[in-house]
Chain A
């Protein structure tokens, strides 16, 4: 039991490690691709010095793992929007929905690439948003920047919009895909944007218009609502929230050890209310609240439903006052 709680306390660090790992991989893959093209051309001597440096460093990186980089590295391609992982093709469920809407037909070999993400989401809820999405890393850093700005006295807005807006964005996106006959999600969905723009910047021709849109979403987060894009606009977040509505793994509060310190509410970037047992389908299992809890009152549990409000924590003032009164 103690071991489990210790592990859960450090899950947030593990999550940061995973997030930065995915992001680093997205930066590394275009360089590996460039190295592959140099290998395929057999023209090392003709390369300019910068490309020679790329070729040398990538050769040093991949030498322990592969003998035939030109072909072997093809098994590790793509972004989180759609990619190949050791020959296993994985796609975002949003990409599948967008494509089905655009073509008005289902291409099963592609639809099935989203099967594993969908099953994991049914089990774990919105974990993709918290643990894998390459945009989340940037958004969380942006949120930390917002906290510093607030401490420095700058006005950082924390408006609240309606959470249901993102479901409408999802529906409107599907309709627009069907009307225009193109997958419109690809141009606003941050993980797709980030992966693609990194690839454009390194291997094609510099940042495109998607980078400008992404910077606008960062400004939206700073000036309108905290993590506003993920909470109110992101169609992928909406889809994962819907799929994870009856997820099995949830963070739950143990009322006996809670002391009502409300640190969990402050640290939650999605503005959920762990203190009053209000997690809901939007929780992305980021475990920041578990890491910050001083009395180990929050932990993962296997349940289909959230608990209803259990009253104030038994270690807090409010509970003691209530006990004295009764």
Chain B
């Protein structure tokens, strides 16, 4: 029965193929399935966009983390997707100081050399219902004073000296998130393609309240 033989051969081949794919599957299954709490996740400065292109180009060597002076770069060893071992920044813990050492050391094209003003990690968004000066609960200005880009990224409102407003020049380094004294973090970094107050004015914000 040659048909049975061919079938058996095929099954054998499939078995060997499955066995050789086993280590890859095991390595992925071992990673605990855990999504980051909240939205505290931003890409590295100069990272390729979209995220899939960055993940494909990153080889997971960890060099970016090994040169980062503020130690803000963390690694995805908790999510079991194809993003395993790729770096990210959690601005709630430590923001990026835009020193570009990670871009310099990256052996691949995952991080592309970019002038500081053109880095696109995201854009800061302020929740005006929780920020102290915006609800008239005191004076702060911490985010404005720490911003490495100054006036073009974040500035005060014209009529109230302490109400921060995010400008279009914001690159999303996350230093303002790190410094924000309000525990609920009314300032956070969102992706550039999400609708934000800085891009679309207050209208979009009101709509989001109605949801």
Contacts and interface: CB of A to CB of B under 8 A. Distances in A.
B115 interface: no
B57 A102 contact: yes
A192 B60 contact: yes
B24 A181 contact: no
B82 A181 contact: yes
A312 interface: no
Interface in A264-293: none
A212 B26 CA distance: 10
B75 A186 contact: no
A37 B101 CA distance: 13
B63 A84 contact: yes
A110 B56 CA distance: 14
A210 B77 contact: yes
A176 B77 CA distance: 19
B55 A181 contact: yes
A209 B81 CA distance: 13
Interface residues of A, number: 57
Interface stretch (B103-111, B128-136, B200-208): B103-111
Please report whether the interface of chain A is mostly helix, strand, loop or mixed according to DSSP.
helix
Interface in A171-207: 171-173, 176, 180-184, 186-188, 192, 195-196, 199-200, 203-205
B111 to A, nearest CB: 11
A172 B27 contact: no
Interface residues of B, number: 45
A81 B20 CA distance: 22
Contacts of B28: 184, 187
A165 interface: yes
Contact of B62 (A37, A40, A79): A79
A107 interface: yes
Interface in A69-85: 70, 74, 77-79, 81-84
Most chain A Cβ neighbours within 10 Å, of B67, B69, B108: B108
A172 to B, nearest CB: 5
A82 B61 contact: yes
B63 A183 contact: no
B120 interface: no
Given A102-B57, A182-B84, A213-B27, A113 B71 contact: no
Contacts of A237: none
A99 B59 contact: yes
B146 to A, nearest CB: 15
Interface string B12-25: 00001101110110
Given A183-B60, A187-B28, A213-B26, 8 more contacts: A89-B107, A91-B59, A107-B109, A172-B21, A182-B82, A196-B61, A204-B75, A209-B27
29 contacts: A33-B67, A40-B69, A41-B69, A41-B70, A77-B66, A78-B66, A83-B61, A89-B107, A98-B59, A99-B108, A103-B56, A103-B57, A107-B109, A110-B107, A113-B107, A168-B16, A172-B17, A181-B56, A182-B82, A182-B84, A184-B28, A184-B82, A186-B61, A186-B85, A187-B85, A188-B24, A200-B77, A204-B65, A208-B31
